[in-house]
Amino acid sequence: MLDLKQFAQNFDEVAARLARRGGSLDLEPVRALIAERRDLILEVDALRQKLNAANDDLKKKAKSDPGAIEALRGELREVSQQAKLRDERLRAVEAELEALLLRIPNTPSPSVPDGKSADDNVVVRTWGQKPAFDFEAQEHWALGEKLGLLDFERAAKVSGPRFVFYKGALARLERALVSFMIDVHTQRGYTELLPPFLVKRESMVGTGQLPKFEEDAFKTAGEHELFLVPTAEVPVTNFHADEILEGDLPRSYVAYTACFRAEAGSYGKDTKGLIRQHQFQKVELVKLVAPEQSEAEHEKLVADAEEILQRLGLPYRVMLLCAGDLGANAAKCYDLEVWLPGQRAYREISSCSSFEDFQARRAKIRFRAEKGAKPRWVHTLNGSGLAVGRTVVALLENGQRADGSVALPEVLWPYMNGLRELR
């Protein structure tokens, strides 16, 4: 959530920064409510001063002019009622403002390039050599089905479209990747968490999934409403909700969860294969940092996600997203896109975002740099380290051979009980 004080004091500047995102965001209701709030605060303050003065006058007149007491009491009641009404309206205006601010996206960082869509994103760097095959590369779903290791048909029978059964060695590969990724990240200083897969509405609001993306969420029905996590970002960031952190920052966490997304806004996209499923596994990296650490720690987080791809030998590129392609909550974002020979394209496998203090204000996460210091908002960062299903996609397509078998990277052999290939 954006800083209301900053919005009120520099409305045109904040509006100009938001305009870099494009679209048709109407900020006039916010401007009107900010002006009304300012006037109400002045009115309430003036009425309270008048009330205090009338109280003082009542005390003095009670001794010197007892006959004036009833008239003064009537004046007190009238002023008190006016103050109450103005105060009630002020609270209502502030509630309206908060509801509006919860739907307004983050402002792009000044270091984010201008642009309208993914076509305007900037290639920061590439890594690895794309495999050269002397046969026509197949897409992952064809490979998986021919190997008898992916079953979309039975998953559709059980759960509907956009679900899959992994079988045999491929199921083990998914499990192996989770362990491998977490091992690498914990060696880099991340603390492992195994969070709940169900969260409260407040937690979804805290990280910005609600209210904007409620149509993409799965939730329970009945008296106890809970949301299935769309990403471990939600429970892990909210691990410190409503807290003032003491001691050194950053706090760095890694967590595996299954993730659940209705994909309501992606009808017709990636209907085949593992790219866009309603349920998938992901290893997530989350950092809570001081504002002055934010930029450097964001770059470190990107490098930590890249390390997984490098150890697996998967070619990829790093993209800096333009203002028009940023997610609503992010101030800055790098996408890691892995090369998929079967699709002859780079596809996103990780988004590494800096939210600055946008999520911290919603989840109320602050820190105190030293004892007695005034609490400040943390900056939050997160990124996939990596999306496990998409990593399986990349391993299948990059490791495929002419005979339909798939070579596995050496770093995974110990996690696969020595298995070196899928066939």
The percent of residues in the chain predicted with pLDDT above 70, rounded, is 95
Query: Residue 304: which residues within 8 A CB-CB, separation 6 or more?
Result: 185, 188, 190, 285, 383, 385
Pairwise CA distance, residues 171 & 148, whole Å? 11
pLDDT band, very low/low/confident/very high, at 129 (cuts 50, 70, 90): very high
The pair of three-digit structure tokens given for residue 86, joined into one six-digit string: 């103005």
Predicted confidence at residue 55, as pLDDT, reads: 72
**pLDDT tens-digit profile of 398-411?**
999 999 999 999 99
Task: Over range 280-296, report the average pLDDT.
Answer: 98
Catalytic residue among 276, 311, 366, 401: 276
Task: Over range 36-53, report the average pLDDT.
Answer: 90
Three-class SS state of 338: strand
Instruction: Please say if 154 is a catalytic residue.
Output: no
Domains with residue ranges and CATH for the chain = 4-101 (1.10.287.40), 118-422 (3.30.930.10)
DSSP 181-214: HHHHHHHTTPEEE---SEE-HHHHHHHT-TTTTG
Catalytic residue among 109, 294, 350, 351: 351
Q: Are 387 and 336 in contact (CB under 8 A)?
A: no
Checking if the pLDDT of 65 tops 70, the result is: no
Burial (CB count <10 Å: 0-12, 13-18, 19+), residue 9: exposed
Pairwise CA distance, residues 396 & 414, whole Å? 18
Instruction: Please say if 261 is a catalytic residue.
Output: yes
Q: Which residue shows structure tokens 């029978």?
A: 157
Predicted confidence at residue 193, as pLDDT, reads: 98
Instruction: Please say if 351 is a catalytic residue.
Output: yes
Q: What is the pTM of this model?
A: 0.92
Checking if the pLDDT of 141 tops 90, the result is: yes
Predicted confidence at residue 66, as pLDDT, reads: 60
CA-nearest of 337, 327, 318 to 390 is 337
State the CB neighbour count (10 A cutoff) for residue 117.
Answer: 10
**pLDDT tens-digit profile of 300-344?**
999 999 999 999 999 999 999 999 999 999 999 999 999 999 999
Pairwise CA distance, residues 8 & 38, whole Å? 9
**pLDDT tens-digit profile of 145-155?**
999 999 999 99
**pLDDT tens-digit profile of 239-282?**
999 999 998 899 999 999 999 999 766 666 777 899 999 999 99
Catalytic residue among 251, 252, 390, 397: 390
Pairwise CA distance, residues 390 & 280, whole Å? 9
Residues across the chain: 423
